[in-house]
Every structure is written in structure tokens, then in C-alpha cells.
Amino acid sequence: MPAPRRHAAVLSVVALAVLAVVAATAVAGLVVVSFGLAVIGGVGLGVLAVSTWHRWRSVEAPVLPPVSELSTDLLGREWLRTSSALLGPLAPATRDAVATRRQDTLDELERRDPAGFARWLADDSPVSRNPAEFLHGSG
């Protein structure tokens, strides 16, 4: 092979090798960038999910009036409402607050009509029944 052709062939091989290295580097760069974006996106979604969960969990509970201010009918409804609330998943602090509210409700019902309260407790299923039905002076 004459020297100019050999020189052209060597240059062609070198040029192809350089192009292969550039292409491989570009592909590797794209892989790294894609992986980095995936990681950043995953972290971002994780942060978003956690912050949304914290906002959902930290929703302030409504301020409820003292049970002494509720009518007897509303006390009965409060008993049923808190019964339903305890059936679902609750954070421990929320569960404690609901239990305290129930105790306050029971105390107020008994204070208003001890005999009616005793009739309600003697019923077959007092937990699922509205105690106001058994008390005098509902309203």
C-alpha cells in the first residue's frame, strides 16, 4: 500500500477510535445525568410525600365546646360520634383526646340524670345506643 493511502487509513482508524471514545463518553454522560435526575426526582417526590403526610397528620383538631354546654341530645350524639371515631385509625394522642371526651360526656350524662344514665347502662347494647334516649329532659 502506498504511503499516502496507508497514512489515510491510519488517520481513518484514529478518527473512528476518537469518535467511538466521544460517543461512549456521551452515552456514559447521559446515563450519569439520567441517573442523577432520577435520584433527584425520587428524593423530591419523597420529600413531597413526607411533607404532605406531616401536614395531614398535623391538622389541628377542632376546638369543641365543653360538654357542660351541650344539650342532652347533643351529648348523645357526641357519644355516638366518638364511638365512630374510635373505630378508625388514630394517632395515640388523638385516641387519648377522644377517650377523654367520652369520659367527660359520660360524666355529664350521669350528672344530669343518674337514673336515666343507669337505664342506659342496663340496656343490652349501651355502647351503640344513644344515651340521650334514656335520659329525662332531652333537648
pLDDT grade for 30, boundaries at 50, 70 and 90: confident
Among the listed residues 85, 83, 72, 84, the one whose alpha carbon sits nearest the alpha carbon of residue 131 = 72
Give the model confidence (pLDDT) of 71-125 as tens digits: 999 999 999 999 999 999 999 999 999 999 999 999 999 999 999 999 999 988 7
pLDDT at 44: 66
pLDDT band at 19 (very low <50, low <70, confident <90, very high): confident
Q: Which three cell numbers stand for residue 50?
A: 413526607
- Under the phi-then-psi rule, with left for phi > 0, alpha for psi from -120 to 50, and beta for the rest, what region is 88? beta
Q: Is the pLDDT of residue 46 over 90?
A: no
pTM exceeds cut of 0.75: no
**Residue 133, C-beta contacts closer than 8 angstroms, at least 6 positions apart:** 76, 120
User: CA–CA separation, 101 vs 103, rounded Å?
Assistant: 5
Nearest Cα residue to 133 out of 67, 64, 79: 79
Q: Which pLDDT belongs to residue 67?
A: 95
With CA atoms as reference, report the closest residue to 64 among 91, 112, 109, 104.
104
Residue ranges per domain, the chain?
1-59, 67-134
Find out whether 103 and 82 touch, Cβ atoms under 8 Å.
no
